[in-house]
Structure 1
Amino acid sequence: MKTIQNIIIGFGKGGKTLAKFLAQKGEEVLVIEKSNQMYGGTCINIACLPSKRLIIEADNGVKFTDAVNGKNQMTTMLRGKNYHMLADEPTVTVLDGEAKFIADHEIEVTTTVEEKEQYRGERIFINTGALPVMLPIPGLAESKAVLDSTAAMDQKEMPEKLVIIGAGYIGLEFASMFAKYGSKVTVLDLHEQFLPREDNDIASEIKKDMENSGVTFELGVKINRVDGQTVFYEKDGQSHEMVADRILVATGRKPNTENLGLENTAIQLTDRGAIKVDEHLQTTVPNVWAIGDVKGGLQFTYISLDDFRIIKDQLFGSGKRSLSDRINVPYSVFITPSLSRVGLSEKEAKAQGITYELKKLPVAAIPKAHVLKDPRGLFKALIAPKTGLILGVTLYGAESYELINMISLAMKMKIPAAILRDQIYTHPTMSESFNDLFK
């Protein structure tokens, strides 16, 4: 059994960045990835980048098959670039295979040629990501019409009729995108309330705009079973059935701990099946860390990158950086127009009894929105009356995914809203809306 200084299981964002950093420090690194189609991780291969590429192509009027071909060319290029970023380092070995723990610091790797190799790691970093959740609906898993989010982006033909199970953020992105390509999209969801995490006025605007773009919503439904291309469900006590070319399951993702052999270690899981970590991402076994989606919590590639920063600070810094530093993490939903938020919503502020001053601006009041030919949406901001600091901002409108980062920075640096209000911005831009939003 060979001893390796650093073993990283999974070629995701945090793991690959850590591998590159350790290599530049002259340390030995073994990176294990079970699929040569996943070099670089989930984001560049099957999630953020390919999905956003398809969304943008839909907005640009590109045919679906042409967009898929272009997306595949992009991911192939990025995958190769990521592989060589690590494999070309003299102290890094990229091994194709599936890793399984046989002891706290020992793993067995079944390679792609079915050989078994064993390694002992002085440090081990688990970076195996997450998997789509398949609901236990009778007939769902057996249906040949069923897609997960990965398969949905690799269809050879655009589905004429698409049923999406789940009206969460991922489901809405796909609904918005496929409707733009010309699919007849119906979204089924268990919950009566649409986007319950968001303020009612924001959720109402989004639902109205998506319905106007051709998406049909059936909320408060119970799906009884799936038979081939037919979904059988109940709503308001009545039975319904819907036939679709494809059925996309968008009901979330779960930490990928399957077949890791954690039962052979003292590594513990949370109640939700994620690897349990402390504030510094250490598992319940010393010198074993978990990075990214596999540890639970927010499933964003930028969170995985920040996980790397925490571990880097432990190994080569002051060791002070921790999960508790993550306050007011922004997120964006790439529907059209996009939804972005950071900090408190009005609904959350009321629930917590927090006093706030509310600012609202319809996107139609922003000149750049008319230049972009999309004046839909609403911007909202919550300000602390005594300090003038920003408590939270929700931006539903064009280019919100760029604007939200400026708000996030202002909140982190405790910059009062008045500074953004009085800032000189270029024109015409969406960012100049802050002159009016924070009036």
Structure 2
Amino acid sequence: MRQHDLVVIGAGSGNTVIDDSFADLDVAIVEERWFGGTCLNAGCIPSKMLAYTAHVARTVSESGTYDVDAQLLGVRWRAMRDRVFGRLDADREEGRRGRQESDFVTVYEGRARFTGPRELRIDLADGAVDISARQIVIAAGGRPSVPPPVAESGLPYETSDTVMRIDTAPRRLAVLGGGYIAAELAEVFAAAGSSVVIVEKEERLLGPQDETVAERFTELARSRYDLRLGREVTAVGGRPGALRLTLDDASTVEADMLLVATGRVPNSDRLNLDAAGVATHDDDRIVVDAYQRTTVEGVFALGDICTPVPLKHVANREAQVIAHNLRHPDDLIAADHDLVPAAVFTRPQIASVGATEQDCRDRGLDPLVGEARYADIAYGWAMEDTTGFCKVLAERGTGRLLGAHLIGPQAATLIQPLVLAMTLGIDAPTLARSPYWIHPALTEIVEKALLDLDL
């Protein structure tokens, strides 16, 4: 059994734990599928590259709003796909080669499972190898969840892991799920010419968002897609290329392709964690403390396999925390998940940080609410935007910001001043009145929402 100083399971954000400061150690990285993880290969990056293309297509098709005569001839799906993945696949292989050529890193391409507290068996293409390590980082990520009626049907379906690499956009796409993955990919395929039906068990899309944002997005989506809300799929029938989904109200949906976007599950069940003694939560996330340590000494975890906030920027921060703690065991730092911003890159963009209005109600809080519409600011006039808005929540008396939510163009960028203020403890009156706000930039919507708090 080969002994390593450090083994990292997963080459997504786990790969970023290792830098040249570990060159004095014998390090191993185990990856069974793809370097760069979900984000690079089937998640954040390709979906946003496709979403931007969809945005360009929508801008052309709606150019008449701005008195521009232009015609959208179509989106060249295969060319777009090859452009996106031609770049990303090259990045993945460059990352793999870099690790394979390293003087202090051994790469094992296969699936790892624990055989003891810090012992692993790795199934390789040509057999298996047993290794052990003084320290282990579990960064094995997650995978799409698939409801039983779909999995048991025996008929083909796509997930976010596969759908962006298909050869042709379908004529009729059924999307199962109403979260951010469903929303983003529905927009991509609609812009590519697909007729989209969304089936969602809740009564509105993007349910975890602030209720006002979720209601507005659902209203806008209803004008673009066939929405079947409050419904679940009970059976999938038909044949490949001609699917028939039966819903729990006995209605049916006909589609050429089914995209399952009902959430993701951690890959903890594939690691034989019982053999290691690593504890998990009821939802199978690995239990970690503030320093990303598991219940087994010398074993850490990061990313979707353990985090309560499964976002790439969170996994990256957790990787930084673990990298420090591995090298400085007497000076540990903690990961902070209190104020994690998030964005949905659909049309329009959505961004949020902190508490929603429904969160405040659940906590018995009565916050001040400030709102401003894109239509209230000059650059919003230039964009002819009539639906977007910014909403901020603040504590009565103190002006402490509790949450912020935007829906509209560039929401993911506009949220950042509010993220900074909440992180650094800058109250709403100070943020609104101390800095200059450029006129007539889009950032004025943040200023106006803050001033609407009337503190």
| Residue identity opposite 1:3 in structure 2 | Q
* Matches of 1:109 and 1:198, distance apart in 2: 40
Corresponding position of 1:175: 186
Per-residue CA distance 1:18-49 (angstroms, 9 max, x = gap): 122543x53221111112xx111111111000
Residue identity opposite 1:154 in structure 2: R
SS of alignment partner, residue 157 of structure 1:
coil
Supply the AA of the counterpart residue of 2:30: I
Unaligned runs of 5+ in 2: 58-74
Query: Any idea what the Cα deviations from partners look like across 1:290-319, whole Å, max 9, x if unmatched?
Result: 111111421111111111232233233464
Question: 1:231 aligned to 2:245?
Answer: yes
Q: Is 1:51 aligned to 2:47, yes or no?
A: yes
Q: Measure how far apart 1:199 and its partner are.
A: 3.5
Aligned residue in 1 for 2:24: 26
- Per the alignment, residue 419 of structure 1 pairs with 430
| 1:19–1:92 contact (8 Å) kept in structure 2 | no
Distance (whole Å) between structure 1 residues aligned to residue 296 and residue 43 of structure 2: 31
CA contact (8 A) 1:274 1:295 kept: yes
Contact 1:164–1:250 (CA<8 Å) still a contact in 2? yes
Q: Which letter maps to 2:138?
A: I
Contact 1:58 1:64 survives alignment (8 Å): no
Secondary structure, aligned partner of 1:270:
coil
Matched with 1:40 is 36
Cα distance in 2 for residues equivalent to 1:44 and 1:389: 37
> RMSD over aligned Cα, in angstroms?
1.9
Write the deviation string for residues 153-185 of structure 1: whole angstroms up to 9, x where unpaired.
Answer: 011111111111111221111122222222111
Q: Cα deviation per residue 1:167-218 (whole Å; 9 max; x = unaligned)? A: 1221111122222222111111122344332333322211122222x21211
Amino acid at match of 2:17: L
Q: Structure 2 matches for 1:345-360, cutoff 5 A?
A: 345-360=356-371
Query: What does residue 403 of structure 1 align with?
Result: 414
Counterparts in 2 of 1:141 and 1:69: CA distance versus 1, 3 Å? farther
Aligned length: 428
Contact 1:134 1:141 (C-alpha < 8 Å) held by counterparts: no
Q: Counterpart in 2 of 1:337?
A: 348
- 2:77 corresponds in structure 1 to 64
* Alpha-carbon distance in structure 1 between the residues aligned to 2:32 and 2:263: 22
- Which residue does the alignment assign to 1:75? 88
Question: Matched residues in 2 for 1:141 and 1:132: separation?
Answer: 17
Gaps of 5+ in 1: none
Instruction: Check conservation: 1:362, 1:377, Cα contact below 8 A.
Output: yes
Deviation at 1:107, TM superposition (A): 1.1
Find the residue that maps to 1:438 and give its secondary structure.
helix
1:354-373 alpha-carbon deviations (Å, 9 max, x no partner):
23211111122233344455
For 2:3, the equivalent position in structure 1 comes to 3
Instruction: Provide the C-alpha distance between the structure 2 equivalents of 1:51 and 1:263, rounded to a whole number of angstroms.
Output: 35
Pairing 1:129–2:141 present: yes
Deviation at 1:65, TM superposition (A): 2.1
Deviations 1:111-156 (A, max 9, x none): 22x2222211111111110011011116655112x11112110111
Mapped partners of 2:313, 2:77: distance in 1: 28
Most deviating of 378-387 and 59-68: 59-68
Identity %: 26
Deviations 1:68-113 (A, max 9, x none): 111111211321332244334321122212212121111122222x
Question: For residues 64 and 409 of structure 1, do their structure 2 counterparts lie closer, same or farther at Cα, with a shift above 3 Å needed?
Answer: same
* 1:200 aligned onto 2:211: yes
Instruction: Give the TM-score taking structure 1 as reference length.
Output: 0.92
Alignment correspondent of 2:154: 142
Moved over 6 A (4+): none
Q: Out of 127, 130, 146, which is 1:118 matched to?
A: 130
* Aligned residues of 2:179 and 2:207 also touching (Cα < 8 A): no
